[in-house]
Structure 1
Amino acid sequence: MKPLIYVLEDDADIALVISRTLKNEGFTIEAFSRRGSFLNRLKRQTPDLCLVDLSLPDGDGLSVVTEYLRVSNIPSIVVTGRSSLTDKIIGLEVGADDYVVKPFEPRELLARVRAVLRRSRQFEPDGGAKAQKTARFAGWEANFQSCTLRDRAGMESDLSASETRLLEIFVKSTGRVLSRSQLMDHIRTSDEDPLDRSVDARISRLRKKLGDDSKSPTLIRTVYGAGYIFSSKVEWV
């Protein structure tokens, strides 16, 4: 089945370029110029990926990513004219899987679309423990479908899309050392990003949410010169 991609872009010329580029490569495309019509369609059918402009005539595209796509675990790429590093980091931290700045080369956009789809499918259910979307470990319960984390007392907190992917990689690889490059393969946005230490920052935030002492962590341990290792027994439910 052809991957279904929604394009939320109010500039008709750019929407046409995106649609033609992806249709020529075998993707099914539905384009929207308004936030409202996009959200109405999203309620009826879930796409494989969404491309979202930040500046829209009837609302902010960033809220689409944070309030709808992230909570539904739908992969997304922000496509925008906002090129500052601050905007880019904000876009990624709120849950977008990649960030493309206008003007862009159609071939680059195509490569990023394929990379995000490839990453999102790498950890799809395929039977056994991987078919489960909730993991229990060390008194915690992580729901990778709803991007939430629950402690022993039943208190629930939200995980960002990148934190969800990172934690899921760890619990599915418990007891195995994962290098920074292996982790970056699943959370980075592109080879050109100057955010080499972003994996360390995200692990630091994840440790904080897990109550894992950064000076002497017991769940996500640092293996100096090699990477990180998740040290807890995991039960899938």
Structure 2
Amino acid sequence: MSKQDHLLIVDDDPEIRQLLADYLRDAGYQTSTACDGKEMRRRLELNVIDLIVLDLMLPGEDGLSLCRDLRATSNIPVIMLTARGSLIDRIVGLEIGADDYLPKPFDPRELLVRIKVVLRRAQSFPERARIDEAPSVRFDGWLLDTRTRQVTSPAGVTLALGGSDYRVLRLLLQHPNRPLSRDFLLNHVFDKDSTPFDRSIDVCISRLRQQLQPGLIKTVRNEGYMLTAADVVSES
């Protein structure tokens, strides 16, 4: 690591908080902990956090509510921990902007690997996927600000994109009017291979369709998803 990434562990179980803090600190990360949403927000005000490990089941505001609020103002990567490992819980977590999820109980070594992957993706993607080095990209009246990861509609409404949604949109903008397969998107957005029941990309596309104008992202049968923008223009 070129710098010591700062991780925030949010869990109401003091033993899990301390175990993860010690383990991840030994792995080379700076760590802070919080027991609930109130303390999480206080930590975010006092520190520059590079990634949040967020438990789903918390007293007061749960992890889903906290992640949803976080996504309205920030693109800090979030890995969700959940004792409820059902498919619907994982889908909801991805829908509200979590970058990854891990069901409890888990091996800390697996969490470490997932943290490395998410951080690498978050830190390297803007360099890997920039369009003509442009800080902003226009397409069909929309404006994507690549610095803030916000998209502005033709009517002037600005929306913040979650990390995975931003990466999907950037890939589609790099290849306008060309279908990109789910496998291609999954590999480049989440750094993993496709499995029959993995709906991560479909969730991102669904969320982008709700935010952008109807018909802008089309499904091409047996081929994948395609951005049907007439013009994609990079701006300095």
TM-score normalised by structure 2 residue count? 0.81
The partner residue of 1:150 within 145, 149, 152 is: 152
Residue correspondence of structure 1 range 84-233 to structure 2 within 5 A: 84-125=86-127, 129=131, 132-174=134-176, 178-188=180-190, 195-207=197-209, 209-213=211-215, 220=217, 226-230=223-227, 232-233=231-232
The partner residue of 1:59 within 58, 61, 65 is: 61
Contact 1:81 1:101 (8 Å CA) reproduced: yes
- Hey, what does 1:32 align to over in structure 2? 34
Which stretch shows the higher mean deviation, 41-50 or 137-146?
A: 137-146
How many Å separate the matches in 1 of 2:110 and 2:159? 36
Tell me by how many angstroms 1:71 deviates. Answer: 2.5
Which stretch shows the higher mean deviation, 37-46 or 91-100?
A: 37-46
- Percent of residue pairs bearing the same amino acid type: 37
Contact 2:78 2:100 (8 Å CA) reproduced: yes
Q: Does the C-alpha gap of structure 1 residues 198 and 192 become closer, same or farther in structure 2, counting only changes over 3 Å? A: closer
Which stretch shows the higher mean deviation, 225-234 or 35-44?
A: 225-234
How many Å separate the matches in 1 of 2:194 and 2:184? 16
Tell me by how many angstroms 1:191 deviates. Answer: 5.5
Q: Does the C-alpha gap of structure 1 residues 197 and 93 become closer, same or farther in structure 2, counting only changes over 3 Å? A: closer
Q: How many residues align?
A: 232
Contact 2:95 2:204 (8 Å CA) reproduced: no
**Residue by residue, what CA displacement relative to the aligned partner does 1:35-61 show, whole Å, maximum 9, x if unpaired?**
222211201222111101122234322
Q: Does the C-alpha gap of structure 1 residues 83 and 233 become closer, same or farther in structure 2, counting only changes over 3 Å? A: same
Q: Does the C-alpha gap of structure 1 residues 58 and 66 become closer, same or farther in structure 2, counting only changes over 3 Å? A: same
What RMSD over aligned residues (CA atoms) do the two structures have, in Å? 3.1
Q: Does the C-alpha gap of structure 1 residues 221 and 91 become closer, same or farther in structure 2, counting only changes over 3 Å? A: closer
Tell me, which stretches of 5 or more residues in structure 2 are unaligned?
none
Q: Does the C-alpha gap of structure 1 residues 194 and 134 become closer, same or farther in structure 2, counting only changes over 3 Å? A: same
How many Å separate the matches in 2 of 1:225 and 1:39? 44
AA in 2 matched with 1:235:
S
Give the secondary-structure state (helix, strand or coil) at the position aligned to 1:65. helix
Contact 1:93 1:160 (8 Å CA) reproduced: no
Tell me by how many angstroms 1:140 deviates. Answer: 0.8
How many Å separate the matches in 2 of 1:88 and 1:178? 24
AA in 1 matched with 2:233:
V
- Hey, what does 1:68 align to over in structure 2? 70
